[in-house]
Structure 1
Amino acid sequence: MGHREDLLEGAKKCLVEKGFVRTTARDIVSASGTNLASIGYHYGSKDALLTQAFTGLMEEWGENFHKGLDGEGGSLERFRALWEGVLARREESGRIWAASMEVALGGDRLPELRALLAASQGEGRRGLISLLTGTPEEELDERDLRTLGAFYQALLNGLMLQWLFDPGSAATAEEFTEGMRRAAEGVTGAGARD
């Protein structure tokens, strides 16, 4: 690997161990075995590198779910399988989610980093839609991302926030799926009572 790849892997390690706010450029250099000048040369800034590392972690996370998800795209079985996978990996993903919450709740303390992460949300939404519906990412348009993608992203963020706040009271995949089924029935009128 070259310095660019080493920096990216070092930044991923730092994100998982320390989060966005506590990770310094020196931490990344130490974890990657590179030098400080490499960060600016390859990524422009520490925040840009951390954002790319975060995006990479999310892509790796999503790729693991593409393999072996039960159920047809758009089915409740697929919906449940995804949330079972999310919750099964919550221990390893928890620090990454906590890091993103750090940035989201940090207000204007990290405006550049926040802007970079906001710009990467579309890719996250695209991946979630593909995972849950089975639709290839390249077939999705902006409306898909702003509607269905935003909805799925809100579900994912909400579930992880529940888990980060109090793992004991967070919904299970079964409860989450049942809630989705009931909400869908309520909205569409299916199963409505007289």
Structure 2
Amino acid sequence: MIRTRINLLLAFVLIGVGYSCKEQLGNNKKAAITEVTKLPYFNSADFTPDWDTKEHRIPNFSFLNQNGERITNESYAGKNYVANFFFTICPGICPKLTSNMSLLQEAYKDDPDFMLLSHSVMPWNDSVPVLKNYAVEKGVNDAKWHLVTGPKEAIYDIARNGYFADEDFTKTQDPETFIHTENFILVDKQGYIRGVYNGTLELDLERLKRHIEILKEESI
């Protein structure tokens, strides 16, 4: 946990340096963004930032969304997106996570290249009809944000080995551990992890928005 935080802090400091350069090069803003400011890649569960190596990509997945539609990697091909993990009857952090995902939905409602993906970690409760009711209650835009359910094994596997979202599993290697994470994971158009954020914190949400803008500039 400490090592992960240190690595992320290092990444954010270096990204901050990129922002300073961007401000100094006010007459060449685009050059500053594309040549100096860039997000790192995260290829392992310890979230060590790497600005050059692209090793880890989100593995293939197939789940059902709130409308009973099959959602796969192809549904997010060519899109930057934020993924998280939740369950509908969660009384703790999930309401805040969903609220902040809603803020992202509103902020990027007119951006066709940005999407959201929320995985239920309690699929035995969160059936398609349950997710649909939750989506309606929370104002989910079906075209922008998929709430997905599926076999527990598949969801837990992609959480742990795809998004590196379960720090407890990293430490214990206990497959029976219930996943309950506050992480928002930023994934680029090619399926690479480019950032991780505490989805309950307003400061991290603003930092996430800045990083989304960097990804948008990277692809220009």
**Considering the TM-score relative to the shorter chain, is it more than 0.5?**
no
- Higher helix fraction (1 or 2): 1
TM-score (norm 1): 0.27
TM-score normalised by length of structure 2: 0.25
* Higher RCO (CA < 8 A, seq sep 6+): 2
User: Based on CA coordinates, which of the two structures has the bigger radius of gyration?
Assistant: 1
